[in-house]
Amino acid sequence: MNTGQTVTLPERDDMLARLTAVIDVPHTVRGFYPLLLEHAGQAKTPEGVALMFLLAVGDYATTQPVASQRTLYIALPLMVAAIVDDGDARAATLAVIAAAQQ
């Protein structure tokens, strides 16, 4: 599913502020968010944003208990909503994430 649409992710400080508004737990802020912040300010397709999240969860999950992994997966829609302002791009991103989780 390629929508042909691109979104520009927030710049680093803005992106971090938006993400910490969703989950502000030290190990998430120090361990997970840096994996996402590498992409701050970049233009991506909704599919690229979904892949960014899924790969970051996969990388982070290797260092965390299963309960923390589940928390991240549950919070993904809120995190996507926090950094993807366009409603159509947000819906497309979430659709890709949902398809990957099946």
pLDDT, residue 30, reads: 93
Tell me the domain boundaries of the chain. 7-38+45-101
Q: Which amino acid is at 66?
A: V
Q: Is the pLDDT of residue 96 over 90?
A: yes
pLDDT, residue 73, reads: 84
Residue 51 — very low, low, confident or very high, per pLDDT cuts 50/70/90?
very high
Mean pLDDT of 51-80: 85
* Residue among 78, 81, 75, 76 nearest 54 (CA): 76
pLDDT, residue 66, reads: 66
How far is the CA of 14 from the CAs of 70, 84, 95, in angstroms? 25, 12, 25
- For the chain, give the mean pLDDT: 91
User: What does DSSP assign to residue 24?
Assistant: -
